């Protein structure tokens, strides 16, 4: 951004230029930008791994990689996409948007903010470097189930240490978000007047500080089991491998909502803007988000119905899981009601948001199917599950992130992106995402387990289609990168209020906003 | 103290609490297993005082064994199946042979199915979770004394006891 | 056009053989049938909900757009509507939970089994023990598949019979008999799964899980390990051969004779 503005606004402390500006920055916009770029890079690294997987699965028989390396790819793909791409992208959006949406000058704890970002590149360098170890990277799946994960090579302590660092970074980020939202809102902005994106992030941040420490505990126990002779998870010492799964998914299920609640916030912001109508049922949206978050702590065992739980346990977790469909349904209905009798236009952010609703709902349907334990005994650990969680994470979380970037990019940069290219990007992405993940439902139901490098000939056709789709999806994202750079080069400046239907404090600022957003707090009616 | 600082402290406290909570889940899980019989985990301790109170009911008890991590052992029940009187003490044993030529340490972990009825299978004398020392090429007998509780639901006619034998020589050596 | 179809056929090798299976098999056991019924029930329910929701959305997208001159309405809340679409989904869910719970109770009831088959997972093969008859053997991927599946083996895997779905020793089970299957593992967690015999359960080292099958039709049923268990997780198939009872007893006596012969 322009150095002139920095000088004008930043007279009370020195701002270094060049690379040092980014390393030492405590400014929420700079840190937000860093997070977003970092997440984009990770998205492509994780994506490359996905393409290795899809290339190998293009045809039956092993053509490219050995099974051990294939398992490293699936493990790393998941770790990188979850902790490196989706979570940092949401934190980046939070950094950019929360202060300018609640009328604050910056985040509450700027130095902590800097620290929580700069942990990430080191953590991921360490994690990815394990791929070059002689014994290879982690290959037990991102869920790290013992005893298999205890068999791993030298990579294990390094991966665990890097997950600890990622957890620390997320917790610090979450503390910062909560502190900012609770303490730095503009006068007059009561909690129930907050923008919905801020609400979803507040709830997400609470989930983060409740869930990440549990993951830290679980992987610490793994580490001590492996190196310090404890036996939390080994049957020979009176431990139980299933205990790990319980602790892991006690973290894991809230984690799933950490990955989707901010996406709900984004879609709930974009749909009203382009429908030119207020969000339907703001209050119930807030309550629905909160109840989804609370329910997320009592459904974890639905990830592990096949471990052999007592009947009562299976029934309990089936019912609580089904219950989640109620608040989630409320959200979907409210989005449709917001669009209903609006005055809609279909710019790129709106297109991605609509695709989000449709495709996320499909993912929700398969989720509901998976909740039915008798059928889940068949679905569990098959490609049906892979299809399900990719539907909620790719056209779910990732589409929401892309929609948010298109929606706020003109505000951040002061330049308008190329709308025709944006639409092209949307259509390519949406077609290919379905081509990739929809056939996975079929092979899963027909009996193909997940996490296998090679498969029986009867699964060949749908796998070939999915692989074609995956390469198309990957290539389409290069267009996204082109659009981002193209936007920065545009000559015409964007207006302050980029979208005529948009509401919120961020649109009262100039485009791009000043280095320190609200030096004087705005008044909210 | 500013409200910001208060928030900060409260959140740090939650974080630390949740980390400790993950460790609290370990004993909580054991209690949970104890109540529900999850994984047949109940009855790891021996029952010291048991009153015999034989009934006219008979149930089948099957015995089976598994050797973990393909250890150089032979480990088998001497009786594969027993028809036992409910409420009466029974004796049997497993044999463990060390097929290697060096001293080994071994530990067995028990599991009962149906797991929800594991609590009615009471072991009085049991070799579970105790370290066994066994010389190379030696065979030892591991006695088991048990009683099937009178409270066993009537519809259950079969109980299966499984032991998995782990080679713990390396773990002992490292201590 | 001809060129295109030749190209397509080379890319999608099985188009000609029409292996476009898209649904869960109905299977041959009471548990697989009930899993299938529940699966189809919930599938149709979600289809109906999907048509309603997406239909409303599509209508709105077509008619409530700015380009056709639609002016935005002012409403943005309605407690009545909100209550309706909280309560109705809840009732639908209750309606689904009842058959699912009943099915589950049936599936978890292993009592009154006639035969006990113990399955032990190893990296990377299965061991089968028939507890009553004291028969025990290992079962691993057959040699043909095992050669063909090596990286750059040069074998056209589409020409291998039952590629990755065949083993050296089949599990033989009688039809019309309730069989209790005990599951455990020697090293890491595996999961034993034959889709046509119903669901899967994890085989966990140190612990024993159970499920039951009651095969209604003779035949050969194929499945494989369903829980990541290391590098050859994809290469530990399961083949169950279901035969009429008499044939089964014949098989059992042959196994026993062989064993006696071996011991001599």
Average pLDDT on C83-91 reads 93
**Annotated catalytic residue within A28, A54, A185, A253:** A253
Tokens describing residue A405: 């970037």
Domain ranges of chain C: 30-107, 115-263
Q: What is the pTM of this model?
A: 0.93
B73 and B23, same domain (yes or no): no
Residue C16 has pLDDT above 80, yes or no: no
Q: Which CATH architecture has domain C30-107?
A: Orthogonal Bundle (1.10)
Q: Among A241-255, A291-305, B44-58, which is the least confidently predicted range?
A: B44-58
Residue A191 has pLDDT above 50, yes or no: yes
B56 and B135, same domain (yes or no): yes
Count CB pairs under 8 A between chains A and B. 101
Could you tell me where the beta strands, DSSP code E, fall in A375-505?
none
Active site residue A450: yes
Active site residue A106: yes
**Annotated catalytic residue within A77, A164, A277, A390:** A77
B102 and B122, same domain (yes or no): yes
Domain C115-263: CATH superfamily is: Cupredoxins -  blue copper proteins (2.60.40.420)
- pLDDT value for A69: 96
Average pLDDT on A214-233 reads 93
Q: Among A128-142, A503-517, B23-37, C205-219, which is the least confidently predicted range?
A: B23-37
CA C227 to chain centre: 12
Residue A101 — very low, low, confident or very high, per pLDDT cuts 50/70/90?
very high
What CA–CA distance (Å, rounded) separates A208 from A80? 18
B103 and B58, same domain (yes or no): yes
- pLDDT value for B68: 92
Of C150, C119, C144, nearest in space to C225 by CA: C119
Ramachandran angles phi, psi of A276, nearest 5°: 55, 45
Residue A370 has pLDDT above 70, yes or no: yes
Q: C227 vs A59, A153, A256, A374, CA distance in Å?
A: 22, 20, 21, 18
Residue A256 — very low, low, confident or very high, per pLDDT cuts 50/70/90?
very high
> What are the DSSP calls for A111-165, one per residue?
HHHHHHHHHHHHHHHHHHHGGGSTT-S--STTTT-TTGGGG--THHHHHHHHHHH
**Annotated catalytic residue within A74, A130, A328, A348:** A328
B120 and B150, same domain (yes or no): yes
Residue B40: count of CB within 10 angstroms of its CB = 28
- Nearest CB among C43, C64, C73 relative to A369 is that of C43
CB-neighbour burial class of residue A104 (10 A; exposed 0-12, middle 13-18, buried 19+): buried
Percent of chain A residues topping a pLDDT of 90: 87
Residue of C nearest to B108 (CA): C206
Q: Does domain A16-508 have CATH number 3.40.1160.10?
A: no
- pLDDT value for B38: 62
Residue A13 has pLDDT above 60, yes or no: no
pLDDT, mean over chain A? 93
Task: Report yes or no: B37 at the A interface, CB cutoff 8 Å.
Answer: yes
Residue B172 has pLDDT above 90, yes or no: no
Sheet holding C125-130, edge to edge: C135-139, C125-130, C115-122, C179-185, C209-213
- pLDDT value for A279: 95
Interval C148-190: pLDDT, tens: 999 988 889 989 999 999 999 999 999 999 999 999 999 999 9
Residue A357 — very low, low, confident or very high, per pLDDT cuts 50/70/90?
very high
Chain B contact probe: residue of A104, A202, A236 with most B CBs at under 10 A: A236
Residue C250 has pLDDT above 80, yes or no: yes
ipTM of the complex as predicted = 0.92
B21 and B73, same domain (yes or no): no
Q: C257 vs A379, A448, C251, CA distance in Å?
A: 40, 38, 10
Q: Which domain does B4 fall in, by range? A: 1-36
As a three-state string, the secondary structure of chain C is CHHHHHHHHHHCCCCCCCCCCCCCCCCCCHHHHHHHHHHHHHHHHHHHHHHHHHHHHHHHHHHCEHHHCCCCCCCCCCHHHHHHHHHHHHHHHHHHHHHHHHHHHHHCCCCCCCEEEEEEEECCEEEEEECCCCEEEEECECHHHHHHCCCCCCCCHHHCCCCCCCECCCEEEECCCCEEEEEEECCCCEEECCHHHCCCEEECECCCEEEEECCCCCEEEEEECCCCCCCCHHHCEEEEEEECHHHHHHHHHHHHHHHHHHHC
Residue B48 has pLDDT above 80, yes or no: no
What Rg value do the Cα atoms of chain A yield, rounded?
Answer: 23
Task: Report yes or no: C247 at the B interface, CB cutoff 8 Å.
Answer: no
For position B115, which CATH number holds? 2.60.370.10
More confident residue, C12 or A237: A237
Percent of chain B residues topping a pLDDT of 70: 87
Average pLDDT on C114-133 reads 95
Domain total of chain B: 2
Question: Parallel, antiparallel, or unpaired: how do β-strands B104-113 and B132-134 relate?
Answer: antiparallel
Contact A241 C189 (CB under 8 A): yes
More confident residue, B144 or B48: B144
Interval A393-448: pLDDT, tens: 999 999 999 999 999 999 999 999 999 999 999 999 999 999 999 999 999 999 99
Of B99, B175, B161, nearest in space to B131 by CA: B175
More confident residue, A21 or A162: A162
Task: Report yes or no: C153 at the A interface, CB cutoff 8 Å.
Answer: yes
Domain ranges of chain A: 16-508
Percent of chain C residues topping a pLDDT of 70: 92
Interval C40-49: pLDDT, tens: 999 999 999 9
Cis peptide before B114 (omega within 30 of 0): yes
């Amino acid at each position: 951004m322009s150095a002139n503005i920095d000088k004008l606004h930043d007279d009370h402390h020195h701002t270094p230029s060049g690379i040092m500006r980014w390393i030492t920055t405590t400014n929420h916009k700079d840190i937000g930008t860093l997070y977003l770029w970092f997440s984009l890079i990770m998205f492509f690294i994780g994506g490359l791994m996905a393409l290795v997987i899809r290339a190998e699965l293009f045809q039956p028989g092993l053509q490219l990689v050995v099974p051990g390396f294939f398992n490293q790819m699936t493990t790393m793909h998941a770790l990188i996409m979850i902790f490196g791409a989706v979570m940092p992208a949401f934190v980046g959006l939070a950094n950019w948007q929360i202060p300018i949406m609640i009328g604050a000058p910056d985040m509450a704890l700027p130095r902590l903010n800097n620290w929580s970002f700069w942990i990430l590149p080191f953590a991921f360098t360490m994690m990815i470097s394990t791929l070059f170890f002689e014994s290879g990277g982690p290959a037990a799946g991102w869920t790290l189930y013992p005893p298999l994960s205890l068999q791993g090579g030298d990579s294990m302590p390094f991966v665990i240490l890097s997950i600890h660092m990622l957890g620390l970074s997320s917790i610090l980020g979450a503390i910062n978000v909560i502190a900012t939202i609770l303490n730095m809102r503009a006068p007059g902005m009561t909690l129930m007047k907050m923008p919905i994106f801020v609400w979803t992030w507040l709830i997400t941040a609470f989930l983060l500080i409740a869930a990440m420490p549990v993951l830290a505990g679980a992987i610490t126990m793994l580490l001590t089991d492996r190196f310090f002779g404890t036996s939390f998870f080994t049957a020979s010492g009176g431990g139980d491998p299933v205990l790990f799964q319980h602790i892991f998914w006690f973290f894991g299920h809230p984690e799933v909502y950490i990955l989707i609640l901010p996406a709900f916030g984004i879609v709930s912001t974009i749909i009203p803007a382009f429908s030119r109508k207020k969000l339907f049922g703001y209050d119930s949206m807030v309550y629905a988000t909160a109840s989804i978050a609370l329910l997320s702590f009592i459904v974890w065992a639905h990830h592990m119905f096949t471990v052999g739980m007592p009947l009562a346990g299976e029934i309990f977790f089936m019912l609580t899981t089904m219950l989640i469909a109620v608040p989630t349904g409320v959200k979907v209905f409210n989005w449709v009601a917001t669009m209903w009798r609006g005055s809609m236009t279909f710019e790129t952010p709106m297109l991605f948001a609509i695709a989000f609703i449709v495709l996320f709902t499909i993912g929700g349907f398969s989720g509901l199917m998976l909740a039915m334990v008798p059928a889940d005994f068949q679905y569990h650990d098959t490609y049906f599950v892979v299809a399900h969680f990719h539907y909620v994470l790719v056209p779910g979380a990732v589409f929401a992130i892309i929609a948010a970037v298109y929606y706020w990019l003109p505000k951040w940069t002061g330049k308008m992106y190329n709308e025709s290219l944006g639409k092209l990007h949307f259509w390519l992405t949406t077609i290919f995402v379905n081509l990739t993940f929809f056939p996975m439902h079929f092979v899963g139901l027909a009996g193909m387990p997940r996490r296998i490098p090679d498969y029986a000939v009867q699964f060949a056709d749908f796998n070939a289609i999915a692989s074609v789709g995956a390469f198309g999806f990957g290539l389409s994202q290069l267009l996204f990168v082109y659009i981002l750079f193209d936007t920065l080069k545009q000559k015409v400046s964007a207006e302050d209020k980029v979208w005529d239907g948009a509401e919120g404090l961020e649109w009262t600022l100039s485009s791009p906003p000043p280095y320190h957003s609200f030096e004087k707090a705005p008044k909210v009616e | 103290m500013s409200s910001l600082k208060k928030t900060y402290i409260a959140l740090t406290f939650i974080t630390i609490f949740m980390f400790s909570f993950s460790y609290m889940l370990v004993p909580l899980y054991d209690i949970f297993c104890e109540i529900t019989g999850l994984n047949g985990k109940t009855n790891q301790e021996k029952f010291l005082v048991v009153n015999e109170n034989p009934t006219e009911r008979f149930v089948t008890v099957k015995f089976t064994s598994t050797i973990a991590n393909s250890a150089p052992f032979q480990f088998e029940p001497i009786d594969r199946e027993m028809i036992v009187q409910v409420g009466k003490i029974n004796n049997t044993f497993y044999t463990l042979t060390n097929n290697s030529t060096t001293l080994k340490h071994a530990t067995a972990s028990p599991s009962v199915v149906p797991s929800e009825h594991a609590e009615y299978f009471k072991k009085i004398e049991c070799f579970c979770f105790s370290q066994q020392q066994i010389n190379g090429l030696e065979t030892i007998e591991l006695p088991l004394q048990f009683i099937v509780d009178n409270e066993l639901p009537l519809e259950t006619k079969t109980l299966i006891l499984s032991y998995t034998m782990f080679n713990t020589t390396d773990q002992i050596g490292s201590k | 056009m001809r060129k295109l179809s030749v190209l397509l056929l080379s890319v999608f090798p099985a188009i000609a053989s029409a292996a476009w299976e898209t649904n869960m098999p109905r299977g041959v056991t009471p548990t697989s049938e009930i899993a299938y019924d529940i699966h189809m029930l919930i599938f149709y329910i979600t289809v109906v909900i999907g048509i309603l929701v997406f239909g409303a959305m599509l209508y709105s997208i077509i008619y409530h757009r700015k380009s056709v001159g639609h002016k935005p309405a002012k409403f943005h809340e309605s407690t009545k509507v909100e209550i309706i679409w909280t309560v109705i989904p809840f009732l639908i869910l209750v309606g689904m939970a009842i058959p699912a719970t009943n099915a589950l109770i049936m599936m978890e009831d292993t009592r009154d089994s006639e035969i006990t088959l113990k399955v032990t997972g190893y990296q990377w093969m299965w061991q089968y023990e028939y507890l009553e008859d004291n028969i025990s053997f290992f079962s691993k991927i057959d040699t043909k598949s095992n050669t063909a599946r090596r990286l750059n083996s040069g074998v056209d895997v589409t020409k291998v019979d039952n590629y990755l779905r065949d083993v050296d020793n089949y599990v033989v089970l009688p039809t019309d008999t309730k069989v209790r299957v005990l599951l455990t593992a020697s090293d890491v967690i595996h999961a034993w799964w034959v889709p046509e015999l119903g669901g899967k359960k994890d085989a966990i080292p140190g612990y024993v899980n159970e499920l039951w099958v009651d095969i209604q039709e003779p035949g050969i049923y194929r499945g494989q390990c369903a829980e990541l268990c290391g590098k050859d997780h994809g290469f530990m198939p399961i083949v169950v051969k279901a035969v009429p009872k008499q044939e089964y007893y014949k098989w059992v006596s042959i196994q026993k004779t062989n064993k006696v012969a071996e011991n001599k």
